[in-house]
């Protein structure tokens, strides 16, 4: 008896689940800009899924199916941005509900969450992700309904134990949401570790080319909160444009290649600059010196991500000088694209930033790692 061998996620992703357009035979899917969808003579929708462009778009189907497959999940939803996706999770809570999230995480989302919770009557407490007991001590049984984590946490790359966070959340009847933007489904599948919901800023690695803003949610179950998130997308209108959805499904085809190359180069770079005379510290979960290294080995498979930070010493002035001398790295915010970027987070985050002022965040792309190392060497002077 021959058992059919299951295809690897890499194959399924490259082929977008072997997509061929049924009507034309086209390998590349069509773009559907239509805002509205016709009904037949009996007033039935010609395609029951498609009625009006704010509810859904035929161009979402492929990327959502592939993403759900990569996360071993039953369903995914695309959103107009990562923030809109995250917001749909928060808006599915009730006033008075309590949220717990890490003190250091993606700055824009952290600040918005603080502001939004204040304005809309949601409780919020932040915990120190470097302290393994902090999460359990921060949740409030009976009140906490959502534990929000990000791992690796931007830009210190703290690693949070997803399985243990899930246990803590479920123990008090809360749901666990994981912002897995930095890890990508190539390295970590949070649902397999017990997460209820996974969020991606698809602007980053999923699309991979710095040319769209997009987001996604993936769910462990098609339960009530999931239906609520779908309704929020449709009714609050956080919908992705059809062209952006097309770019996303195309960018995703090369996800594994891009992420693997970025991981390999990031590790090479991290190892090269650790102990360098002009570098105070290299912060990368792939280095044994990183406090989250052991956990990262357990929960990230095939690499430690394409993001790292270096502390150059000498404060903001010195760090900015180094960034200013880079010629191969581009000075820009965001990450996860094919081109490497350098960013001084403290400048971007402003006065109250918890990020050391001598810290530069690096997003490693798919260029030759030798060129990247040489560029940083000359920039460090």
User: Is 361 known to be catalytic?
Assistant: no
Alpha carbon distance 339, 347 (integer Å): 21
Using CB under 6 A as the binding rule, the residues of this chain from 132 to 161 that contact ligand PLP are 150, 154
Closest by CA to 167, choosing from 150, 152, 143, 147, is: 147
User: Is 106 known to be catalytic?
Assistant: yes
> How many positions of this chain bind ligand PLP (CB under 6 A)?
15
Give the nearest distance from C-beta 322 to ligand PLP in angstroms: 23
Tokens 């062209």 — which residue?
A: 243
What is the secondary structure of 240-296 as a DSSP string? Answer: PPHHHHHHHHHHHTTHHHHHHHHHHHHHHHHHHHTT-TT-SEEE-TTSTTSTTHHHH
Query: Catalytic one among 60, 97, 106, 284?
Result: 106
Using CB under 6 A as the binding rule, the residues of this chain from 23 to 62 that contact ligand PLP are none
Binding-site member from 32, 73, 92, 106 for ligand PLP (CB under 6 A): 106
Give the nearest distance from C-beta 202 to ligand PLP in angstroms: 7
Give the nearest distance from C-beta 306 to ligand PLP in angstroms: 12
In sequence order, the β-bridge partners of residue 123 are 98
Give the nearest distance from C-beta 7 to ligand PLP in angstroms: 29
Beta-sheet strand order (sheet of 175-179): 75-79, 215-219, 197-201, 175-179, 144-150, 98-102, 123-127
Pairing of strands 359-363, 123-127: unpaired
- Would you state the structure tokens that stand for residue 317, as one six-digit string? 């002035």
Binding-site member from 29, 58, 59, 82 for ligand PLP (CB under 6 A): 82
Give the nearest distance from C-beta 80 to ligand PLP in angstroms: 8
Query: Catalytic one among 97, 158, 161, 179?
Result: 179
User: Is 204 known to be catalytic?
Assistant: yes
The region of 94-102, 114-122, 175-183, 222-230 touching ligand PLP under the rule CB under 6 A is 175-183
Binding-site member from 13, 83, 189, 207 for ligand PLP (CB under 6 A): 83
Site string for ligand PLP, 283-312 (x = CB under 6 A): ------------------------------
Alpha carbon distance 321, 316 (integer Å): 8
Dihedral sign for Cα 335, 340, 343, 348, please. negative
Closest by CA to 198, choosing from 108, 99, 86, is: 86
Tokens 């909160």 — which residue?
A: 225
The region of 176-184, 186-194, 220-228, 352-360 touching ligand PLP under the rule CB under 6 A is 176-184
Binding-site member from 179, 196, 244, 318 for ligand PLP (CB under 6 A): 179
Give the nearest distance from C-beta 258 to ligand PLP in angstroms: 16
Binding-site member from 13, 81, 156, 184 for ligand PLP (CB under 6 A): 81
- The set of residues, in sequence order, having a beta carbon less than 8 Å from that of 163 and lying 6+ positions away, is 193, 194, 299
User: Is 54 known to be catalytic?
Assistant: yes
84 three-state secondary structure? helix
41 three-state secondary structure? coil
The region of 53-61, 81-89, 162-170, 317-325 touching ligand PLP under the rule CB under 6 A is 81-89
315 three-state secondary structure? helix
Q: Is there binding between residue 363 and ligand PLP (CB under 6 A)?
A: no
Using CB under 6 A as the binding rule, the residues of this chain from 185 to 224 that contact ligand PLP are 201, 203-204, 213, 215
Applying CB under 6 A, the residues found at the interface with ligand PLP are 81-83, 106, 109, 150, 154, 179, 181-182, 201, 203-204, 213, 215
- Catalytically active residues are 54, 106, 179, 204
């Amino acid at each position: 008896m021959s058992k059919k061998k299951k295809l690897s996620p890499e194959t399924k992703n490259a082929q977008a689940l072997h997509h061929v357009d049924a009507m034309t035979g086209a390998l590349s899917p069509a773009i559907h800009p239509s805002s509205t969808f016709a009904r037949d003579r009996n007033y039935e929708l010609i395609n029951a899924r498609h009625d009006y462009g704010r509810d859904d778009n035929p161009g979402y189907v492929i990327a959502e199916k592939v993403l759900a497959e990569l996360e071993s999940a039953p369903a995914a939803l695309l959103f107009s941005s990562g923030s809109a996706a995250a917001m749909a999770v928060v808006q599915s809570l009730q006033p008075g509900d309590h949220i717990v999230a890490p003190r250091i995480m993606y700055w824009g989302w952290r600040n918005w969450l603080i502001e939004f919770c204040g304005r809309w009557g949601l409780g919020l407490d932040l915990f120190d992700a470097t302290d393994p007991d902090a999460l359990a001590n921060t949740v409030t049984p009976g009140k906490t309904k959502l534990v929000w984590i990000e791992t690796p946490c931007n830009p210190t790359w703290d690693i949070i134990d997803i399985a243990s966070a899930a246990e803590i959340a479920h123990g008090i009847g809360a749901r666990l949401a994981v912002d897995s933007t930095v890890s990508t489904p190539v390295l970590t599948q949070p649902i397999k570790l017990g997460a209820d919901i996974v969020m991606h800023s698809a602007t980053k690695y999923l699309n991979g080319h710095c040319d769209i803003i997009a987001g996604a949610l993936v769910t462990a179950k098609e339960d009530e909160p999931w239906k609520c998130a779908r309704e929020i997308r449709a009714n609050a209108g956080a919908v992705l444009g059809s062209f952006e959805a097309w770019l996303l499904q195309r960018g995703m085809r090369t996800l594994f290649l891009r992420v693997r190359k970025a991981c390999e180069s990031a590790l090479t770079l991290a190892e090269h600059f650790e102990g360098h005379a002009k570098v105070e510290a290299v912060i990368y979960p792939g280095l044994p010196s990183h406090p989250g290294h052991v956990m990262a080995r357990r929960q990230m498979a095939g690499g430690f991500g394409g993001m790292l930070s270096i502390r150059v010493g000498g404060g903001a002035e010195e760090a900015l000088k180094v960034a200013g001398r880079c010629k191969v790295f581009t000075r820009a915010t965001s990450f996860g694209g094919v081109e490497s970027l350098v960013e001084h987070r403290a400048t971007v985050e402003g006065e109250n930033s918890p990020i050391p002022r001598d810290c530069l965040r690096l997003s490693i792309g798919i260029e030759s790692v030798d060129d990247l190392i040489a560029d940083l060497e000359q920039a460090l002077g």
